[in-house]
Amino acid sequence: MFRSTIGKASAAFLVLLAAVGTARAGGAFQNGLPEGAVRKIKELLRNDSRIKCVAFTSTGGWAILFDDNGFMARDIPEDAFAKLKEMAANGVVLRWIAFTPNDGFVILGEKGAFFAKDIPPPALRRLKAASDNGDDLKSMTFAGKNGWVLIAEGGFAADGIPNDAFRQLQKLNGAGEHLKSVAFTPNGGWIVLVNRDGAWDANIPEAVFAKIDELQKVGGFRLNCVAFPPNGENAWVLIVD
């Protein structure tokens, strides 16, 4: 299901590419992304790659995870790039990457694999506990200076995020929804992705709401990832397949 606190929008959006007629059909929609990221997303979709995650640093860098352990990145912390390269070379299936405002970062892989640096200590403790418990690590996102959300098998943990976002996560988790990921806008807006194409949000750019609403009406799409660059006004990207 889809709910929003904003009205339906008619703002234009840019379709990067929508590969159709294949077993791995996918598409991306965006506004205001760095040109290098746009070119790489187009290239990946032309090659029929499945994009799993797009993330942005506070200084304009970006990273894209695709297929099993593929990644592309530019202007991210050197140790983040090195760890991506190491994990991929070791056969880790990469699932998620996110950056904190101070260029800390977390990388999640399948089977509880992860690496984190300079993230809030409570977030690191919950991440270690979930991994040690053998939980499936789905996503981790950071908001503001110390806010964070970890979504893992069976639920979520969060601190320092908007109250309405926390309440919505509680409600969805309590109702048995399968949480996927959360994204935050620079001005405190948020969106929660659940199940295959479900999304709940508040104060996100109207064009994002309009595109998700359109896709849900058409059906047959899976919402993979939504991300908002922290230093871009009304900048966003939506990845589907």
User: How many structural domains is the chain composed of?
Assistant: 1
Residues in the chain: 241
Would you state the pLDDT for residue 19? Answer: 32
Q: Where are the alpha helices (DSSP H) in 68-143?
A: 78-89, 121-132
Strand partners, 74: 62
Would you state the pLDDT for residue 23? Answer: 33
What is the reported pTM? 0.89
CB atoms within 10 A of CB 217: 8
H or E segment to which residue 183 belongs: strand 179-184
Six token digits for residue 24: 């791995």
Q: Find out whether 29 and 67 touch, Cβ atoms under 8 Å.
A: no
**CB contact set of 50 (below 8 Å; sequence gap of 6+):** 24, 26, 66, 67, 224, 241
Q: Find out whether 123 and 150 touch, Cβ atoms under 8 Å.
A: yes
CA gap 125, 146 in Å, rounded: 14
CA gap 76, 61 in Å, rounded: 5
CA gap 97, 189 in Å, rounded: 20
What tens digit of pLDDT does each residue of 2-26 get? 333 222 222 223 333 333 223 345 7
Cα distances (angstroms) measured from residue 203 to each of 3, 157, 186: 12, 22, 11
CA gap 136, 140 in Å, rounded: 12
Torsion of CA 237, 139, 92, 154, to 10 degrees: -140
* Sequential pLDDT tens for the chain (241 residues): 333 322 222 222 333 333 322 334 579 999 999 999 999 999 999 999 999 999 999 999 999 999 999 999 999 999 999 999 999 999 999 999 999 999 899 999 999 999 999 999 999 999 999 999 999 999 999 998 899 999 999 799 999 999 999 999 999 999 999 999 999 999 999 999 998 778 999 999 999 999 999 998 888 888 999 999 998 779 999 999 8
Output Rg (C-alpha) for the chain, integer angstroms: 16
Q: Which domain holds residue 186?
A: 2-6+13-240
Would you state the pLDDT for residue 231? Answer: 86
Would you state the pLDDT for residue 182? Answer: 98
